[in-house]
């Protein structure tokens, strides 16, 4: 019986995790501060009052690397007082992550959650494929999932 209870609680835990799912429109940023070592941190509180675009990617993900190029261009065009771009990489190898940042000439904020799809941030946001982007408004509420460049630009211009 004891064992059964244990199994049941483990099952419940797993189901609980599964039930978190993907964040929905209107939900607030599911995490305030990301920290993994000294030089790998991001504090979402510092972006208060700005739009925030969170981009999940990985160095080995071809479509993400193409996306990086577009994001770098977009980042240079956008007013940094209005919007912040935050890249979250799921690379398990931090060196490959750093190399990719260098190669893609990324200047916006970056965080590495080194556990692939099992990474805590991936679970919190409900990321099941790469790339995935989330655009939050000035209040930190999710307004668009996987926005187009146009959508972002139009919103900032408003």
Query: Can you say how many angstroms the Cα of residue 92 is from the centroid of all Cα atoms in its chain?
Result: 15
Of residues 118 and 149, the one with the C-beta less far from other proteins:
118
Bridge partner residues of 110 (DSSP): 87
CB 59 within 8 A of CB 88: no
- Residue 55 CB, shortest distance to other proteins, in Å, is 13
State the virtual CA torsion across 149, 122, 93, 52 in degrees, nearest 10. 40
Task: Decide if residue 58 touches other proteins (CB under 8 A).
Answer: yes
Query: According to CB under 8 A, which one of 32, 63, 139, 148 is a site residue for other proteins?
Result: 63
- Residue 29 CB, shortest distance to other proteins, in Å, is 21
User: Can you tell me the distance from the alpha carbon of 136 to that of 23, in angstroms, rounded to the nearest whole number?
Assistant: 11
* Main-chain phi, psi angles of 86, to 5 degrees: -125, 120
Query: According to CB under 8 A, which one of 29, 53, 61, 71 is a site residue for other proteins?
Result: 61
Query: According to CB under 8 A, which one of 26, 37, 49, 62 is a site residue for other proteins?
Result: 62
Query: According to CB under 8 A, which one of 64, 86, 101, 152 is a site residue for other proteins?
Result: 64
Query: According to CB under 8 A, which one of 28, 30, 31, 60 is a site residue for other proteins?
Result: 60
Bridge partner residues of 141 (DSSP): 28
Residues 27-56 that bind other proteins (CB under 8 A): none
User: Can you tell me the distance from the alpha carbon of 65 to that of 150, in angstroms, rounded to the nearest whole number?
Assistant: 19
Residues 126-145 that bind other proteins (CB under 8 A): 127-131
Of residues 58 and 83, the one with the C-beta less far from other proteins:
58
User: Can you tell me the distance from the alpha carbon of 56 to that of 111, in angstroms, rounded to the nearest whole number?
Assistant: 10
Q: Which residues are at the interface with other proteins (CB under 8 A)?
A: 58, 60-64, 116-117, 127-131
């Amino acid at each position: 019986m004891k064992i059964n209870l244990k199994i049941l609680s483990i099952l419940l835990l797993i189901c609980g995790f599964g039930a978190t799912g993907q964040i929905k429109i209107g939900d607030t940023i599911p995490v305030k501060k990301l920290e993994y070592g000294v030089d790998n941190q991001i504090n979402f509180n510092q972006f208060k009052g700005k739009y925030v675009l969170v981009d999940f990617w990985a160095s080995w993900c071809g479509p993400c690397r193409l996306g990086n190029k577009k994001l770098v261009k977009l980042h240079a065009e956008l007013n940094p007082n209005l919007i912040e771009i935050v890249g979250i990489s799921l690379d398990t190898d931090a060196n490959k992550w750093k190399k990719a940042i260098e190669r893609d000439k990324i200047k916006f904020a970056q965080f590495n959650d080194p556990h692939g799809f099992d990474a805590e941030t991936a679970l919190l946001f409900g990321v099941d494929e790469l790339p995935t982007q989330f655009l939050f408004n000035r209040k930190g509420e999710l307004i668009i999932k996987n926005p187009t460049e146009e959508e972002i630009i139009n919103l900032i211009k408003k």
